[in-house]
Chains A and B, each alone.
Chain A
Amino acid sequence: MAALAGWLGGRRGLERWRTLPVSRRRQILTPILLGTGLLFPFLTSNAGNVDAAANAFTYVLLALGLNIVVGFAGLLDLGYAAFFAIGAYGYGVAASGHLKPEWSSLWIPLEWAGQVSRLVVPGQPDTVQFHFAFWPMLAVTAIVCAIFGLLFGAPTLRLRGDYLAIVTLGFGEIVPVVARNWEGLTNGAQGLGGIRTPRLFGVEFGFSPYPYYFLGLGLVAVAVWISIRLQESRLGRAWMAIREDELAAGAMGVNHVHYKLMAFAMGAAVGGLGGTFYVAKLTTATPDMFTFPVSVMVLVMVVLGGLGSIRGVVMAALFVAFLQSVILQELTEYVHALGRLVGSDFLQRIELITSLELIFGLILVLMMLFRREGL
């Protein structure tokens, strides 16, 4: 930001920018960033770019959620994809026709609200067809994820930090396996299909990337706002105290189990939002979407952006998404062209996108060795 200000206003501009109070800076920056975000789809003619950006917002949401847990409170969560999965399946089950419980009068209020309908098949008991709307489900999945965060967190947060990492890793492993094996709920390895897309004022979102782009932008804006508010609150200060020195924080009267649980639940809720958004856009959910590499990818974003830095994490998430969807494909084409030029068979066949995890590994190691505070 400072670089941008310097470029716009020269040296004097840069100095004036530096002397502005944070609140004033924010008043100037917020409209600029939001405006750029809102105008982006109209500036680019390629719908694919908008689609990629909408997908990138999912990563930004996840990274912001994990940042609350790892960045603010210093708890290493290696199974964050579990919350992504719970959010995704939460909406997926509620908005696809897969689960068909038997009809009973208990469903009548929901039928009035237009969330379920009674399916009458002659010769068989009546069943319930789910078609819960996206907007209330967004809140419901966030709450469900927060509850799961509490459930996962409550027994484990008393443990030392490195044990916590293992337990979260275990949870992160269990959730996709359950999603694969509990076929009655999740349709097993094939996953849920035909999930309904959101509607707003009677307009179906469908498969155009544009509405999802704006929805994602809105969710990211909300998540950023929540993150900033949290960081500056009593809660945020308590988290930072725990992160820096748990024993000292405890001695100062900070109830660390309580605050750690809050961090876990809030991070989980944001992850659930990400999952719901992602599935609404993709209209399918399969167990393979939520495995360990996803947790590591989100961790890479948080580490790259700098643990606890909201601005850094958002930029890093956008960068990693961009790396994945654009840069690597372009580079692959260059390498192929180079291979044709020098007649190397190997260079023509190489697919850099398969090396994405290799790059993640390198990023993690190099960042930890040389720039632990992030870029």
Chain B
Amino acid sequence: MSTVDVLLQQIVNGLALGMMYALLALGFTMVYGIIELINFSHFSVFMTGTFVGLVVLNLMGVTAVSKSLTGFALVGTLVVLFAATMATTGVLGVLIERICLRSLRHVAGTAPMITTIGVAFILINTMLLIWGPQAQRFPQLLPNWRWAVGAAEVTFKQVVLFVVGLVLMLALSHLVKRTTLGKAMRATAQDADAARMMGIDVDRVVVLTFFLGSALAGAGSLFFGLYYGFTGYYIGYTTGLRAFTSAVLGGIGSIPGAVLGGLFIGLTQSLGGQLVGVKWTDVIIFSLLIIVMVFRPNGLLGAHVPQKA
């Protein structure tokens, strides 16, 4: 393969990965947009989602040694898998908000953020206690079909991830832009107090935001499981931080920004791994994060927001 072909291949890989980061970044961005909180527990909700997916698959009789499925069996399994996992992680996100964050909503300073770090540690170590420290194999549902597109090779797995990601994002975009609930969300993000005065139940909007964000994280966790074919208690941290970088890169609080940032980070990871070396990937991504924070703290698409007193 020539250099151009290799780069083309890495771009294809990067776009599929980028969809996963974008889904995760959406959760960060939505919560930040509404209550200005950096939710570190989002990492671990994502990680928990991979295990939920594993359990759902096992309940349906699919294990790590099963053969990949085709036809209606595959479509049906995927639909049930995504629906069940996303519902579970969504409820988990709502529980985190209700139990740990609601009473801290009006506390200024670092307290809510520290709480989310605590929640992350609790979830990570609970999973460690249940599943043990070793990596778990994630069933390879999707058949290993591949097609040549130009010089690069596109796998069926990548196509499925890309399409599912796109569908979810379009659904989210429809929800936020076209429905009454979405209007309430946007109003709350702009000014929670004014929204309350207009009769919007802000608590309900926040709960809904956590549900949606965590459900998208659940979808992202299935992407991780299907793409890499394993999971472990430790995966949330690195992936979550990269997704977070995506959100910041795109402009935290901006939904299209999160998608753009996610794709960008996916490409950075695959191209950086190819050109510089895999062991430096995190240094590249976090340096990027710091550079963006320093020179363009509002991100690529974020609007300038004056500091609230």
Contact = CB atoms under 8 A, between A and B. Distances in A.
B126 interface: yes
B153 interface: no
Contacts of A361: 117-125
Contact of B115 (A173, A358, A360, A369): A369
B241 interface: yes
B125 A70 contact: no
B154 interface: no
A362 B122 contact: yes
A70 B120 CA distance: 20
- Secondary structure call for the A interface: helix
A330 interface: no
Contact of A166 (B111, B129, B289): B289
B36 A162 contact: yes
B117 A296 contact: yes
Interface in B243-301: 244-245, 248, 279-280, 282-283, 286-287, 289-290, 293-294, 297
Contacts of B109: 74, 161
Q: Which of B111, B118, B287 has the largest number of chain A CB atoms within 10 A?
A: B118
User: Do most interface residues of chain B lie in helix, strand or loop, or is the interface mixed?
Assistant: helix
B220 to A, nearest CB: 19
Contacts of A70: 110
Interface string A159-182: 111110111011101100110110
B293 A358 contact: no
A292 B121 CA distance: 11
A81 to B, nearest CB: 14
A181 B279 contact: yes
A360 B124 CA distance: 12
A19 interface: no
A354 B111 contact: no
B92 interface: no
A365 B283 contact: no
A180 B280 CA distance: 10
Contacts of B115: 364-365, 368-369
B170 interface: no
A155 B100 CA distance: 33
A178 B125 contact: no
A330 B283 CA distance: 40
Contact of B244 (A166, A299, A355, A364): A166
Contacts of B129: 354-355, 358
A174 B282 contact: yes
A60 B82 CA distance: 47
Interface string B55-72: 000000000000000000
B118 A360 contact: yes
B118 A363 contact: yes
A364 B125 contact: no
A170 B121 contact: no
B103 interface: yes
Nearest to A363: B118
Contacts, number: 121
Contact of A362 (B104, B118, B294): B118
Contacts of A369: 100, 103-104, 115
Interface in B102-157: 103-104, 107, 109-115, 117-126, 128-129
A170 B288 CA distance: 10
A139 B232 CA distance: 42
A358 B290 contact: no
Interface centre among B119, B279, B286 (most CB of A within 10 A): B286
Given A357-B124, A360-B121, A165 B110 contact: yes
Nearest to A364: B118
Nearest to B248: A166
B111 A163 contact: no
Contact of A174 (B36, B123, B287, B293): B287
A296 B122 CA distance: 13
Interface size class of A (residues with CB under 8 A): 35 or more
B79 interface: no
A313 interface: no
Contacts of B237: 292
Contacts of B279: 177, 180-181
Contacts of A16: none
A156 B294 contact: yes
B122 A76 contact: no
B169 to A, nearest CB: 24
Most buried by A among B107, B112, B283: B283
Contacts of B107: 372
A162 B283 contact: no
B309 interface: yes
A162 B113 contact: yes
B7 interface: no
A303 interface: yes
Interface in B179-204: none
A156 B125 contact: no
Contact of B286 (A161, A170, A358, A360): A170
Given A161-B109, A169-B241, A156 B119 contact: no
A24 B37 CA distance: 44
A221 interface: no
A177 B309 contact: no
A247 interface: yes
B38 A166 contact: yes
B2 interface: no
B104 A365 contact: no
Contact of B121 (A74, A160, A161, A296): A296
Interface in A318-358: 354-355, 357-358
Nearest to B277: A181
Interface string B31-62: 00000111000000000000000000000000
21 contacts: A74-B110, A78-B117, A159-B294, A162-B36, A163-B297, A167-B290, A170-B245, A177-B279, A177-B280, A177-B282, A181-B280, A181-B283, A296-B121, A355-B125, A358-B129, A360-B121, A362-B118, A368-B118, A369-B103, A369-B115, A372-B111
Question: Considering the complex of A and B, which 6 residue pairs feature the smallest CB-CB distances, nearest first?
Answer: A364-B118, A361-B121, A358-B125, A361-B122, A365-B118, A170-B286
Given A163-B297, A181-B283, 12 more contacts: A74-B110, A159-B294, A161-B110, A166-B244, A166-B248, A173-B282, A181-B280, A303-B114, A354-B129, A361-B122, A368-B115, A369-B100
